Structure 1
Amino acid sequence: MFALARLVFIGFIVLTVVYVCLSLYSRARRREKLEAAWDTDRGPGSKASFVDAGLKDYDGSLRRKLILGVYVVPSLLVALIIYLTNFA
């Protein structure tokens, strides 16, 4: 039982690090795309306000929520492997 608790604890820490890195990377890529879009179109208002509005839209987007799959998919795979190893 202690081994399972240790696996869950270490797995949660590793997945949290992966989630944070992936989230920051995705947000940085979105910022770059917004800045490039403003540079090509010279959108209304200032560049900073355009990027801030775009990032605010990104915060509520589906992509942001899909990154939470970093927790779900590996957890389900480990649970499946443990089940198949012990009961199949």
Structure 2
Amino acid sequence: MIAALRFLIPLLVVLTVVYVCLSLYSRRVRRDKLEARWRDKGMRGDRDAFINRGLKKYDASFRRKLIFGVYVVPLGLIAVLIYVTNFM
């Protein structure tokens, strides 16, 4: 059990860093796309409000939730490997 914790705690730290970086990158890409859309369509009005509305929609989107796969996939694979190794 101690060996598993010695492995999982650093793994969770690394996965958290990867999650934060990926989340920030994805949000920046969405912001850039919204700015390009505003510029290309020649819209008028409050540009910041348009971008903030788009980012709020993005925060509630399925794509944003897929980033949690950074945690789910590696930890799920480790759980399957442990199960197969110990119980099959």
TM-score after normalising by structure 2 = 0.91
Q: CA RMSD in A?
A: 1.2
Give 1:47 deviation, angstroms.
1.7
Question: Who is 2:59 aligned against?
Answer: 59
Give 1:69 deviation, angstroms.
1.2
Which stretches of structure 1, 4 residues or more, deviate above 6 A after TM superposition?
none
Gaps of 5+ in 1: none
Gaps of 5+ in 2: none
Give 1:87 deviation, angstroms.
2.8
Within-5 A mapping of 1:1-88 = 1-88=1-88
Give 1:43 deviation, angstroms.
2.3
TM-score after normalising by structure 1 = 0.91
SS in structure 2 of the partner of residue 24 of structure 1: helix
Does the 8 A contact of 1:22 with 1:67 survive in 2?
Answer: yes
Q: Distance in 2 between matches of 1:29 and 1:59?
A: 13
Q: Distance in 2 between matches of 1:17 and 1:39?
A: 33
User: How many residues of Structure 1 are paired with residues of Structure 2 in the alignment?
Assistant: 88
